[in-house]
Structure 1
Amino acid sequence: MDARILLVAPFQDLYEVAEKVVMEQFADAHACVKVIQGNLQECMEAVKQEIESGTEVIISRGGTATLIEQNVDIPVLPIEVGVLDILRAMMTNGKYPDKVGIAGFENVIYGCEEMESLLGIHFYEIYLHEEAEAETKIKEALAHGVELIVGDAISVKLAAKLGVPAIMIHSGREAVYKVIREAQIIGNIRRQEKEKSVLVRTMIDQSAEAIIATDTDNRITLFNSMAEKLFCISHFEALGKSLFEVIPALRLCETDTIHDVIEDIQQFGDKTIAVKKAILQLADETIGRIYTLQNVSQIQKLEQNVRKKLHKKGLVAKMQMEDIIGTSSICIAMKKKAVKYALTQSTILVTGDSGTGKEVLVQSIHNLSTRANGPFVAVNCAALPEHLLESELFGYEEGSFTGAKRGGRQGLFELAHGGTLFLDEIGEMPISLQSRLLRVLQEKEIMHIGGDSVIPVDVRIIAATNQNLAKMIEEKVFRADLYYRLNILRIHVPTLQDRREDIPLLAKELVKKLGRVNLNVQRLDSGALEYLKQCSWQGNIRQLANIIERVMLLSDGPVITKQDIVEARDEANTDIEQGIEEERDFSTDNLGRMEKDTLLRVLSEEKFNYSRAAIRLGIHRTTLWRKLNKK
């Protein structure tokens, strides 16, 4: 939308010319250019009303333009009188004397001296600064031999009163067109600047930070609404005063250097405030300083909100202690220990065979802890290659390695801030990363890959493994110092073999949970439950769940019998036996040497780049490393 322009015509013929120019040349902007007629004081009321309605630039002529300019705070453009306008006026008289007086306000007679050489006439310029002096100045001109007055409406009116011939200068269409175009340019620039100013002002006032700006004498020039709330001081009280008079504690942030950016923590009464100060410069000149301040408690609340949103995105523990099914003494003892451990902040090491439900226990501990409202982040250390695991855990800066995401990325330690980080299969973590993990446990801070600053983190670590870490320490593949850091509190999850009396309860619960698999199946009979109790479950709860799901898929009736389970187990055992036989064939000494030779050959061809070699071999980088280092 174009800027709104008001053209005030002091007399009728200018009004008619302006209306015609607007209709012919500015038809598309007609609604934005308004023409009214009025002279001097009689038009001021209308001008004020138009300004209140949104007029951004005013156009007028002569004394009316000067008067309006003195009474408004928006741009006022005069309709300049050119040589052509003066010539046009003089030609209406037919002939003219040797000495002609050009009378009017400066914006009317500017440049008329160029006419002398053009027409061979001597012009006497009569400058009017205000209407009251017009008569006196015209009399002075007559005393100097002026025989004809050419000028604006006021000059012509007074000349007639004194009995002197006078001709009014009328503004031509070209002058009106030119000034409207200039007004449009000025108005649009002002509108753009206003929009930018409103945008900046809104951003400043909506900022979560208190923002204070000062000039070179430390006088406050800006004091936003958040600063008002933070210091309980109105900006009316603060503006123009010395910063250190209004907020004395900010003097502590001053240094002797000129080009400085300072970040500091200051105490303001009972509030702890994070302060950042920067120099304001225009070209090479210092024009002031800007301070951004934020209540540390607000930062913490904001951080909590971010964590809650991350929590809603899936970084959440879903399992509760009630989800751990079992009434055996060993299971009850494990749960009691877990409840006690949950109330502490210490690191926990969970041990147990694969499939025993270690993650269910870990999630239950998190949900019982004081960190239950914080995020729960789980990572399997065996599932990711070394370099990827490192970037996932610690995050990275932009450009820190090929393929790094623009803007960098937060690590899992940061995502877990205020909550729990579950490191599953901790025994599979490469030893080079173990030292970094140890430092996090000791210092409670991390550093991004490619970064140069530390980031404090408040994370509880719970690690799990199905390996014998003590033996791994002897084999030099697990750090002893990390082991002792992790093994502060320890819980062992028993196998199904150790808690056979819980198997019937687990089986019934699994049938209930897997009901969607086969809606016809309702229960297991007593024979089936007793048979399940007597079976050997090398894969623990995971294997039991697989068998129950298989039985339910194959079952035709509402009750699962012992025979159903026998058939399902026989089928499953056949699969296992075939897998074991294949493993035996492949793991002979000769094939073992052949495998290692192949791995080394591919690694050599890829110039010992483990990632490219692993891709060619179709295995994880970690698996490749493990196979080559297996004794």
Structure 2
Amino acid sequence: MIKVLFIAPYPAMAVLIDECKAEARDLDVTVKVGNLGSAVPLAKRAEQDGFDVIISRGGTAKSIEEVTNLPVIDIHVSGYDMLRVLTLANEFPGKKAIVGFSNITLGAETITDILEFPIEVFTVERAEEVGPLIKELKDQGYSVIMGDVVTVHNADRYGMEGILIQSGREAIFDAFQRTRTIYSFYQKKQTEIDLMKAMLETEANDFVVLDHEGEIAYEQWKSISPSLIDVSELSKDGELNSQAVIKVGDEVYKVKPSVLTNGSRKYYLYSFSKLGQPIDETLIKVEHVSQLPLIIQESEQMRNCISLIGANIKKSKWALIGENGTGKGLIARYIHYLKLEGDGLFAVAMARDFLENSEVDKDIKTIYLQGIDTLDFYEQQRLEQVADYCCSIGINIIYSVLTENEGLFDSGVARIYLPSLRNRNGDIRALAAYFIADSNQSFGTSPIKIKEEALDLLEKYHWPGNVAELKAVLYDAAAAEKGYVLSTEVMGPLLESKVSSGFSIKDDFLQGTLEEIEKRIILAVMEQEDGNQTRVANRLNINRSTLWRKLKN
């Protein structure tokens, strides 16, 4: 049987419901009396008390919907109900009006027009509107007011005749029938939800679902204590966080994010699983590439590069060949997503570090290796063997190299040549627009465009640091510019300082032994990278342990 809580807004309805429920043998109906706010506590307890459906009427039904997860059936005011009260009221002398919510007034207006009853109809959205409206109607000479419980209460309060529009047997039986229909649909959907929950429990022991505001919509924790997870760090501004590995207590867990869509609403599912293979986070960085990276390709050179990637997409071993700063890391992530559509993790490591520990977790599907150029011949041969094994078990290997290395790359390697920025001049305008927009979102800078004269300066500069240098220059310019347009007054000095500093070395910089000069170079890079040893090691193509040793000496 369907267990129904029927909240009657007035006592007379409760008597009629008791008569009608005897004829609805498939419904277990409990009747309570409560109007508007007084009905809310009853509705809040209904789910806990085991009810399946709530029935009520008008404003009371609206109030209940806001505080319960159960389906709420709003009793219609039938044509019979309206005819009865209008016929009765038509015999009363004086000006008459109907005041109520739309469930009452829509039908009333039609009937009064058809029967030409001299009765005005007024619709309210909230119960708080009823009192002031009735007082105004009294001032206008109205003496009889028809409506719901709140309407009649206010009419009495102002000394007017109040007539309650009651729901008859027809409306109650109609509500019973709609209860059966809604409950059947609700049960079907609940079964689907329970099935989905069971599937989720099978797929992942620990997961959390967040809504677009970062609030928890659903969660399940079996091996992780939720107190150890900072949920606010998972989703930022309604966007997926690409963090792929987190430390929970003494354990390291993989985090797999995905988007769930329900109608127009987006939810973010984060599932956690223990890392199968321990990872030294100082040597290998693991991330989830959640969307296809944007590649600016206005120039023919970049279009050819992207076209070549598409032609080789089935290959598992790649070599990205180009100068530092040309965006090899971005292209590596582009290849990873294009091949796998976001499935599997993306890892970045120095080639020598990878040789020392080449065992990786089963969810890592692409390994991007840097520092190939610093390996000796025997290390390169060993790396080739390790790479072939990785490819045989479904892992993509992407090399980052400055120049082509015939000894390392066999015929199965897809060679992708990344043009320097000075050879893809046609992309500078679009890149500048992208970096300005990114600066706005990341740092709250004010410029939104760049003057043509300033753009000319960018296009004439030789860009030895390629796209990475362009990005740094535009970030600096955006931070310095106080207006909305990047001007030559800001851009010019920045580029001039780079040109002058690029060709000047302090007299004492190259003095002393090779070890002393090397130490000065390392310290200079450390200053540029704000002391971040991982970035320093990457720039110098050495591993972190080597860097630490050189700094200590």
- Output the TM-score relative to the length of structure 1: 0.37
Look at both structures and tell me which one has the larger radius of gyration over its CA atoms. Answer: 1
Normalized per residue, the structure richer in helix is 1
- Output the TM-score relative to the length of structure 2: 0.41
